[in-house]
Amino acid sequence: MLTDAFLCRLDTLALAMRGRAQGGAGGSRRSRQTGSSAEFSDYREYIPGDDIRRLDWNAYARFDKLFLKLFMEEQESQVTILLDASASMGAKWASARLAAEAVGYLALTGGDRLCLHCLKDGRATRFPQLSGRAAFPRLTGWLDTCVPDGKADTLTETVKRAEGLKKGLCFLITDGYTEDALKETLDYLRYMRQETAVIHVLSAGELRPELDGAMRLTDSESGEHIDLIADRSALDAYKDALNAFLKDVRENCSSRETGYLLLDSGEPFEECFIPLLSKSGMI
């Protein structure tokens, strides 16, 4: 879990959003609708974690239900986290989970509604929406139940099974090792009106392999293996393939106006994550 000191640093930051919010309840983002933030708009039922200062007690007395007042100008946006929990994420899971935790905290403290999906075995397990700083412990509790295993299937088809995607920010946290091209997933998310950012998590062993001699490498998802001699020529060929892979991911993101962040799981998370968020334009 994130330390209290790191959470205090996050309290001074906010997620960046190019478009304006079109959410439901009062939040900190500017909506496209006109009017004053004090101008009443509508009601919706209370969800645990909502700001209790917006409760309408007259409505409660009449209907015996808690309702939240909605206003015109200041509105919340939905922030969606799509967290790859396939077996290939095993060595990178601690960093991926911390990234989801940090983004979720920024969303909850920024007045946004948060929706988390865990992606594995072709399923997109959706957890109930969260809102408000007080909901953060529930987020960490749900992340505790996510365990990386199984196959990724095709990322695009799995993401298509994610229910409740509404216009807003979307953070895709993945190692990018899928059968289909990442660009297909990004195209689908754009179609679904998501302002997407990719947090690309790779391990130190993937970025800086220290291999020597004869060995067998086994795919963590398919179980397939290859035998090789890890000599200089093999390591050079791997480096070339890695650079081509990273270039392709970055170009796919750039051409689709998608934020990109490469997270090295071998680096101390709390030291590197905020500078990476800032450099990528995600905050």
pLDDT tens digits, 60-80: 888 888 888 766 444 568 999
How far, in Å, CA of 78 to CA of 165, rounded? 9
Give the pLDDT confidence score for residue 165 in this predicted structure. Answer: 92
- Burial (CB < 10 A; 0-12, 13-18, 19+), residue 168, is buried
Q: What rounded mean pLDDT belongs to the chain?
A: 86
Scanning the structure block, which residue is given the tokens 């601690």?
94
CATH of 78-280, one of 3.90.1150.10, 3.40.50.360, 3.40.50.410, 3.90.1570.10: 3.40.50.410
How far, in Å, CA of 161 to CA of 101, rounded? 22
Q: Which residues does residue 199 pair with via DSSP β-bridges, in sequence order?
A: 173, 261
Q: Structural domain boundaries of the chain?
A: 34-72, 78-280
Percent of residues, the chain, with pLDDT higher than 90: 61
Q: Which of 32-41, 136-145, 192-201, 247-256 has the lowest mean pLDDT?
A: 32-41
Residue 187 pLDDT exceeds 60? yes
